[in-house]
């Protein structure tokens, strides 16, 4: 690992320098791109125009933004690839050597340069770095997957990764049983080319028990090579971004670049960040502690379950409280009311216990206390579906998470029935969504079902645009839309009555 570090060190200086070079003292060096895939090890050195600089970055950003949206909507890799094809063709095409395209060099240069420009734009904060690494790795993985087999092999060989060794024939015999357990049923050990690496190299495979471990060595089937290469890509990018971040303050402000870079990073906002405290109370809504029971009819299954659990048990475990508090903050419940809500909700706690153990947490969630950055940021943002689906799955006795994902079908059915779903075909649809891991679709399905009258009305009257009715990917959006639709219906009903 350290060796990579050392190796990238001079490159970082290049990242810094090239911008000056490319704009200040023109010099021309033609980069060579023997492969379609790129680990982005060398920083660009040739000149491009300011227009290219901006346009290429924006094009790549479109691709990354769309990729991230696919993951927020929990699309499978295959669905993502289908969805992304036209976008990639338009904004960031990358042909194989065998295509004999005349644009190879230009395509690859754009891919190379736009990656490095976005590194500068997204190195500044940990959050941006994390997201950039994540989507860039997704992009790399997708391209790796679709790459021509022999060209891919040439690319991997060219990486000179010296940290894997082939598993010997003796080892294959010795661990025949263990290795066989790692393969799909019809395959035999001989069908696979096995690699042996330090387990630290393939933490994701270890985590999912997709490799056999022996004394710290992971025996990796050849088909997992992709995973190893992608993880190497991710690791290197993470490191390089940190180096870039440390170098950023030393980049003297290039007047022409700074606004572009700032603008780029601002355009990469996450759905998580789009719900801040107090900003989303629907107009005229009575968002108070006393009214939460009533408002809970507008909650998505995850929050509805938390609310029910709290009312039933008089308690929620920590992640449940966190997820629910942030949601309530997001629907516009102010801090005072939120404290009232929890004081009443945690009914087995004495005032003293509440003040000692819970009050601070709620205030922290609202950004009233805590470190500077917490207070400045107004506390944490309400959790998005993506976050709820993928982070901290509920453990024993915990009620947080996404019921569509974390409940079994029986318990899920009970929950959605209590939310007003009694239609068998809808229930069947939910089951299929769940089986196909499309938890969002299940949630949106329930939403559409319980609001079908209102949605039809809204569409008929043209009061809500198609845009306002697209897939929900945030619990707070679920609430807001539900609230608006129901009240829209009420208003309309009132008008009709009067008329």
Partner 1 sequence: MPHSTDMQASSPPRAVKDEPMEDEAAMPAHVANPAVDDDAEMEQTEETATATASQGDKEIKKDVKLQDLFDDDDDSDIEVDDSIFTPTNVANLKASDPEIMRQFYQRLFPWRLLFQWLNHSPTPTNDFGNREFAFTLQNDAYLRYQSFATADLLRKDVLRLMPSRFEIGPVYSANPRDRKQLGKTSAFRPLAKELCFDIDLTDYDDVRTCCDKANICNKCWQFMTMAIKVVDAALREDYGFQHIMWVYSGRRGAHAWVCDKKVRSMDDQKRRAIAGYLEVVKGGAQSGKRVNLWRPLHPHLARSLDILKEHFQQDVLESQDPWDTTERAERLLGLLPDQTLRDSLRSKWDAAPGRSSMSKWADIDAIFKSGAASKKFDGKALLEAKQDIVLEYTYPRLDIEVSKKLNHLLKSPFVVHPGTGRVCVPIDLKALEDFDPLEVPTVQGLLAEIDAYQGAEGEEEKKGVADWEKTSLKPYIDQFRLFVNGIMKDEKATAVKREREDESMEF
Q: Which 103-132 residues touch partner 1, going by CB under 8 A?
A: 126-127, 130-131
Beta 212-214 vs 165-166: how paired, if at all?
A: unpaired
Nearest to partner 1 of 30, 312 (CB atom)? 312
Regarding 417 and contact with partner 1 (CB under 8 A), the answer is no
- CA distances to 181, 338, 480 from 447, rounded to whole Å, are 43, 26, 12
* Inter-CA distances, 245 with 15, 77, 164, 238, Å: 11, 31, 31, 11
Q: Chain-centre distance of CA 384, in angstroms?
A: 10
The minimum distance between CB 349 and partner 1, in angstroms, equals 8
With CB under 8 A as the rule, give the number of residues binding partner 1. Answer: 79
Least distance from C-beta 259 to partner 1, angstroms?
26
The CB-of-204 to partner 1 minimum distance in angstroms stands at 4
* Residue 77 in tokens: 């890799």
Judge whether 385 is annotated as a binding position: yes
* Closer to partner 1 by Cβ: residue 54 or 232: 232
Name residues whose C-beta falls within 8 Å of residue 179's C-beta, 6 or more positions apart in sequence. Answer: 172, 189, 192, 194, 212, 219
Q: By C-beta, is 332 or 401 nearer to partner 1?
A: 401
Asked whether 72 and 389 are in contact (CB, 8 A), the reply is no
Of 27, 210, 39, residue with least CA distance to 108: 39
DSSP state at residue 254: -
Q: Is 4 in the site for partner 1 (CB under 8 A)?
A: no
Q: In terms of CB distance, is 102 or 216 closer to partner 1?
A: 216
Q: Give me the residues paired with residue 218 across strands.
A: 197, 213
Q: Which of residues 266-325 bind partner 1 (CB under 8 A)?
A: 317-319, 321-322
Q: 481, 468 in Cβ contact below 8 A? A: yes
- H or E, element range at 165: strand 165-166
Near partner 1 in 352-411, by CB under 8 A:
353, 355-358, 360-361, 363-365, 369-374, 379-380, 387, 390-399, 401, 403, 406-408, 410-411
Nearer to partner 1 among residue 319 and residue 483 (C-beta): 319
Whole-angstrom distance, CA of residue 54 vs CA of residue 123: 17
By C-beta, is 190 or 372 nearer to partner 1?
372
Positions of E strands within 190-296: 194-198, 212-214, 217-221
Interface with partner 1, residue 74, by CB under 8 A: yes
302 is in an annotated binding site: yes
Contact 480, 451 (CB under 8 A): no
Residue 239 · residue 8 · CB < 8 Å: yes
Q: Considering only CA atoms, give the Rg of the chain.
A: 26
CB of 92 to partner 1, least distance (A): 19
138 counts as binding partner 1 under rule CB under 8 A = yes
Bridge partner residues of 220 (DSSP): 195
Distance CA 263, CA 366 (A): 28
Task: Note whether 215 and 178 are within 8 A (CB).
Answer: no
Site string for partner 1, 174-213 (x = CB under 8 A): ---xx-xxx----------------xx--xx-xxxx--xx
Annotated ligand binding at 70? The verdict is no
Find the binding residues for partner 1 in span 9-68 (CB under 8 A): none
Q: Considering beta carbons, is residue 161 or 493 the nearer one to partner 1?
A: 161
Min. distance of Cβ 481 from partner 1 in angstroms? 24
List binders of partner 1 among 435-494 (CB under 8 A).
437
Binding mask 225-264 for partner 1 (x = CB under 8 A): --x--xx--x-----------x------------------
CA-nearest of 271, 375, 379 to 325 is: 379
71 binds partner 1 (CB under 8 A): yes
CB 19 within 8 A of CB 251: yes
Query: Considering the complex, what minimum distance in angstroms separates the CB of residue 152 from partner 1?
Result: 18
Residue placing its CB nearer to partner 1 in the complex, 70 or 88: 70
Stretch that binds partner 1, among 54-62, 73-81, 86-94, 144-152 (CB under 8 A): 73-81
**Is 402 annotated as belonging to a binding site?**
yes
Smallest separation, CB 337 to partner 1 (Å): 19
Identify the CA nearest to 388 among candidates 371, 400, 375: 400
Task: Please tell me the distance from the alpha carbon of residue 407 to that of residue 112, in angstroms, as a whole number.
Answer: 44
Provide, rounded to whole angstroms, the least separation between the CB of residue 179 and partner 1. 9
Name which of 139 and 285 has its Cβ closer to partner 1: 139
List binding-site positions for [4Fe-4S] cluster. 302, 385, 402, 443
List binding-site positions. 302, 385, 402, 443
């Amino acid at each position: 690992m350290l060796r990579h570090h050392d190796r990238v060190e001079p490159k970082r200086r290049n990242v810094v320098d090239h911008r000056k070079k490319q704009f200040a003292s023109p010099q021309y060096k033609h980069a060579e791109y023997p492969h379609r895939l790129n680990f982005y090890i060398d920083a660009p050195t040739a000149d491009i125009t300011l227009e290219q600089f901006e346009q290429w970055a924006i094009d790549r950003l479109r691709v990354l933004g769309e990729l991230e949206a696919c993951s927020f909507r929990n699309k499978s890799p295959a669905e993502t690839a289908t969805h992304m094809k036209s976008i990639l063709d338009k904004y960031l095409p990358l042909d194989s050597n065998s295509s004999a395209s005349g644009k190879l060099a230009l395509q690859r240069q754009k891919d190379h340069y736009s990656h490095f420009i976005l590194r500068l734009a997204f190195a500044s904060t940990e959050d941006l770095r994390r997201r950039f690494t994540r989507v860039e790795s997704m992009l790399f993985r997708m391209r790796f997957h679709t790459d021509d087999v022999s060209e891919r092999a040439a690319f991997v060989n060219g990486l000179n990764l010296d940290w894997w060794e082939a598993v010997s024939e003796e080892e294959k015999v010795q661990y025949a049983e263990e290795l066989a357990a790692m393969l799909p049923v019809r395959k035999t050990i001989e069908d696979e080319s096995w690699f042996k690496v330090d387990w630290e190299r393939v933490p994701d495979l270890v985590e999912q028990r997709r490799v056999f471990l022996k004394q710290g060595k992971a025996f990796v089937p050849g088909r997992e090579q992709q995973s190893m290469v992608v993880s190497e890509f991710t690791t290197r990018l993470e490191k390089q971004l940190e180096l870039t971040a440390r170098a950023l303050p030393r980049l003297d402000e290039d007047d022409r670049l700074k606004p572009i870079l700032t603008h780029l990073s601002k355009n990469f906002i996450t759905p998580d960040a789009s719900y801040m405290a107090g900003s989303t109370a629907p107009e005229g809504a009575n968002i108070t502690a006393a009214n939460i029971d009533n408002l809970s009819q507008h909650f998505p299954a995850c929050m509805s379950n938390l609310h029910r659990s709290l009312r039933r048990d008089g308690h929620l475990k920590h992640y449940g409280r966190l997820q629910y508090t942030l949601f309530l903050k997001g629907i516009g419940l102010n801090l005072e009311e939120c404290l009232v809500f929890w004081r009443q909700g945690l009914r087995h706690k004495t005032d003293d216990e509440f003040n000692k153990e819970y009050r601070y947490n709620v205030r922290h969630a609202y950004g009233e206390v805590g470190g500077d950055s917490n207070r400045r940021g107004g506390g944490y943002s309400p959790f998005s579906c993506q976050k709820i689906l993928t982070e901290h799955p509920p453990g024993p006795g915990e009620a947080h998470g996404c019921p569509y994902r974390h409940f079994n079908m029986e318990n899920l059915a009970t929950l959605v029935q209590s939310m007003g779903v009694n239609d068998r075909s809808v229930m069947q649809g939910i089951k299929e969504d769940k089986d196909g891991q499309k938890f969002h679709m299940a949630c949106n399905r329930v939403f559409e079902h319980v609001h079908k009258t209102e949605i039809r009305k809204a569409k008929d009257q043209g009061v809500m645009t198609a845009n306002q009715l697209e897939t929900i990917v945030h619990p707070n959006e679920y609430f807001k839309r539900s609230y608006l639709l129901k009240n829209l219906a009420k208003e309309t009903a009132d008008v009709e009555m009067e008329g």
